[in-house]
Structure 1
Amino acid sequence: MELVGILEMSMLLPKYSDIEHYVTLEPQTSYIFRFIIQNISNIQQSNGKHILSNDTEEAEYLVQSLVDKYWERIHTGHFSQVSQDIRKIYAVGNYFKIFYLLFRNSEVEQLAKCNEILDQAILLGCTQNLYVNNVRLQNCLQKYFSAVLYADLRLPIIKSLQRQLLRCDIPQYDCPSIDFFRKNCFETKCPALLLNSISHWSALEKWRDLNYIIKIAGNRTVPVEIGSNYTSEEWSQQLIKIRDFLQRQFCGNIKDSEFEIEYLAQHELFDQVPELMKDIRIPDYCILATKAEQKVDIKAWLGPKGTISPLHYDPKHNLLCQVFGAKTVILAAPEDSSNLYPHKTQFLNNTSQIDAINLDLQKYPKSANVKFLQLTIQEGDCLYIPKKWWHYVRAETESFSVSFWWE
């Protein structure tokens, strides 16, 4: 991108008034941001000529020092105890750092470096409600990096599966009203398969084209699970680029590949890549919350055939929506918990030791008393799983699901 394009994109950086409310208690940081923002403004007004000034050199030094300082503060103590303001300052600092690097050099190696910095801003920083143009800036940077770095990468388009009449041991309702859902599912805590409730999602078509995902999110770094089941000894996690994950798992036969099954599971992808939220909508059923203005947690589940979520329960209501592919689901009621042999460790105490698809009654005899319910969730379906209901999920094909959790 020529300098003029980078200058135009820099107009989306925050003004001091956008960030003042979370830097006022940090006088030195406040001074640095004022200095940097004024310098960026001078660069913009001079059409890039001010890049060569002494003030710019000082601003570059200050922004690097600021990012280093807040990186250390984020990594001091437990991450959960780090304030959002500290993480917001870190994110904004990295935004400015990216633009100083781009002003100096927009070659491929520099773009790759800036892309890594953007990942750090999103993963370690707090970019939710950061400032008014935050999402626009992220989207512009992501498209810019993708267009240059991975223009030649081509991935498959996932074929649509023909709907089949398959076993379903729970009630099925065709796009029920909120009142019907409340009376027959939510209040009775009865799982149900909801048909045609997300037919308006553009994701149902757009996300089949993995090149579309690459274009929007290919450069993002995400955590993937390695191995088909998180309770196995071989299971591990790794941070990788979405483009590398998609290329390894969706190009060719995974059985013949040198790579193990990988699963982008339970990830807050839509906070990390807000542009993807344009393709979906939070289902209206999620308004049935016990607390006013209850936040809905949105999670992404993307992977090849054979990924498994072992039998477990969640503390919140769950609406599991299938964008493409099909999954076998096995359910068990909370009343059967004593027969499901939960793990005794704190980390896995919501997960059963049994293999729900292949019961070993000799090893786990009480599981014979459990009334298991089985179904297949197909493209465009929503499965309502009440809180504390046990569920096992296995992908029968390449699959992309979105879950909505609420209380």
Structure 2
Amino acid sequence: MGAVEASLLELAKLLPRFEDIVELLENEVEARYILRRAADHFAKRQAIDQLNRPEEEEISYLIHALVDKNWERIHSGHFSSVPLTIRKIYALGCYFKQIFFLLLENPSLEQRELCGTVLDEAQLLGCTEELYEKCTELKHALMQYLDERATSNNSLPLPILAAVERRASRCDIPQLEAPSILEFRTSCYQALQPTLLLNTINHWPALSKWRDLNYLLKVAGNRTVPIEIGSNYASDEWSQQLVKLRVFLHRQFGPSNGRADHEIEYLAQHELFAQIPALKADICVPDYCTVSSNNAAGVDIKAWLGPSHTISPMHYDPKHNLLCQVFGCKSIILASPEDTANLYAHESEFLNNTSQIDAAKPDFERFPLLRRVRFYELLLQPGDCLYLPPKWWHYVRSETPSFSVSFWWE
């Protein structure tokens, strides 16, 4: 047995046993049959003398078919309506497919690149939360295995972004200098008062480390991430694409990003830190997010990375939101939930939390009710956080290359 095969079979010990996933598969007869055979196969595969090559080829074919079928089921309607069971079966199929059939049959550089993409899609399209006991351990071990053997990056280095100098700017909402938890609870959270929290995350290692885009490239460049393409997600030309983070970084921050035909792309509202734990070590969940439960486990963490001129159109979120600025700065325009009726939300089911207006250039002729709206403006700068209560409308525009982290909680 070769060293590569031996190390893969060690990783195979982290795959689920059939009894670990049997409850999930109760009503999925086809998936139950295929995953049972795959789990039993790898339980026997630990002993090389029990290898049955025809059986392995048959199960490999079945696993590939299972992944393809559930990929189609995931894409048959809007992603938010896909049952978790389908997404979990897809993730399980990816784990068996990518590593222990793709890699065992061909451990080439190209195959490892493909497996890295499959690993990311298991998390992006599938659902790995509470999949089975050792799922997180397997995911991290696979990521480490693939990254250690990844194709070397011979491209030109990325820039180290200059620190943005803090400047005086208009702020139409209250400002607090790194408030205590008690002050935040009474002045912001309980009062449902949007507030700019100054110099609140200066202790994060991310503030200095992430401006070196080569650090992001080294830690996360091989991961596949969803990218938004177009001026903003409510526009007709908007689209999405799954790409390697290194491709996105070079396209948006490399030498070509100054061309006239350069297309703006945005890594927006992505759970990057669940996908890449090494980056999560550079931040921490602010204590402000635990005022309602004293528990950070229920906090959703999202990443927002892009060049200047990325825009999130005027919209609201249903949860409490703490938007933290790591590097760069963003101009933000707010409006109260009391003005919802005057903000011309889209009628579409999936955009009914998004306004049709351009908050930066309001068209009072087309949208006359905007004359009744009171808008609040501010500049979010590195080290600062913006607290937004539920359903407060906000428009966000990056004035420079920018990395923000948002924390949402009930």
Name the TM tier (shorter chain). Answer: 0.7 to 0.9
Look up the match of 1:131: 132
Look up the match of 1:94: 94
How far apart are residue 275 of structure 1 and its match? 4.4
How far apart are residue 103 of structure 1 and its match? 1.1
How far apart are residue 360 of structure 1 and its match? 4.2
Q: Percent identity?
A: 54
How far apart are residue 346 of structure 1 and its match? 4.4
Look up the match of 1:44: 46
How far apart are residue 141 of structure 1 and its match? 3.0
Deviations 1:298-324 (A, max 9, x none): 222111011111222222221111111
Measured on the aligned residues, the alpha-carbon RMSD in Å equals: 3.1
SS in 2 for 1:265: strand
Aligned counterpart in structure 2 of residue 392 of structure 1, from 368, 392, 395: 395
**Aligned pairs (5 A) from 1:2-401:** 2-26=4-28, 29-46=31-48, 53-74=53-74, 79-98=79-98, 99-146=100-147, 147-153=149-155, 154-252=157-255, 254-256=257-259, 258-289=261-292, 295-364=298-367, 366-401=369-404
Deviations 1:38-73 (A, max 9, x none): 432443343xx7656444334323433443454455
Contact kept, 8 Å, 1:51 with 1:103, in 2: the verdict is no
Give the letter aligned to residue 203 of structure 1: A
* TM-score normalized by the length of structure 1: 0.86
Give the letter aligned to residue 135 of structure 2: N
How far apart are residue 365 of structure 1 and its match? 5.0
SS in 2 for 1:96: helix
Tell me, which stretches of 5 or more residues in structure 2 are unaligned? none
Give the 3 Å change call, closer, same or farther, for CA 36–165 of structure 1 in structure 2: same
Give the letter aligned to residue 33 of structure 1: L
How far apart are residue 78 of structure 1 and its match? 5.8
Give the 3 Å change call, closer, same or farther, for CA 11–234 of structure 1 in structure 2: same
Give the 3 Å change call, closer, same or farther, for CA 277–385 of structure 1 in structure 2: same
Contact kept, 8 Å, 2:221 with 2:245, in 1: the verdict is yes
CA distance in 1 between counterparts of 2:366 and 2:84 reads 47
Contact kept, 8 Å, 1:303 with 1:400, in 2: the verdict is yes
CA distance in 1 between counterparts of 2:313 and 2:364 reads 17
Give the 3 Å change call, closer, same or farther, for CA 377–17 of structure 1 in structure 2: same
CA distance in 2 between counterparts of 1:214 and 1:163 reads 27
Give the letter aligned to residue 36 of structure 1: A
Contact kept, 8 Å, 2:334 with 2:375, in 1: the verdict is yes
- Mean Cα displacement is larger for which, 61-70 or 84-93? 61-70
Give the 3 Å change call, closer, same or farther, for CA 216–14 of structure 1 in structure 2: farther
CA distance in 2 between counterparts of 1:75 and 1:113 reads 20
How far apart are residue 207 of structure 1 and its match? 2.6
SS in 2 for 1:2: helix
CA distance in 1 between counterparts of 2:11 and 2:405 reads 31
CA distance in 1 between counterparts of 2:315 and 2:80 reads 24
CA distance in 2 between counterparts of 1:70 and 1:347 reads 23
Contact kept, 8 Å, 2:256 with 2:262, in 1: the verdict is no
CA distance in 2 between counterparts of 1:76 and 1:249 reads 31
Contact kept, 8 Å, 1:142 with 1:219, in 2: the verdict is no
SS in 2 for 1:197: coil
CA distance in 1 between counterparts of 2:11 and 2:297 reads 35
CA distance in 1 between counterparts of 2:404 and 2:299 reads 16
Contact kept, 8 Å, 2:17 with 2:40, in 1: the verdict is no
- Mean Cα displacement is larger for which, 290-299 or 215-224? 290-299
How far apart are residue 249 of structure 1 and its match? 0.4
Deviations 1:105-147 (A, max 9, x none): 1112222332332233223321112233323332333344444
* TM-score normalized by the length of structure 2: 0.86
SS in 2 for 1:21: coil
How far apart are residue 276 of structure 1 and its match? 3.3
CA distance in 2 between counterparts of 1:35 and 1:344 reads 48
How far apart are residue 344 of structure 1 and its match? 4.6
CA distance in 2 between counterparts of 1:399 and 1:366 reads 33
Give the 3 Å change call, closer, same or farther, for CA 75–5 of structure 1 in structure 2: same
- Mean Cα displacement is larger for which, 19-28 or 151-160? 19-28
How far apart are residue 294 of structure 1 and its match? 8.9
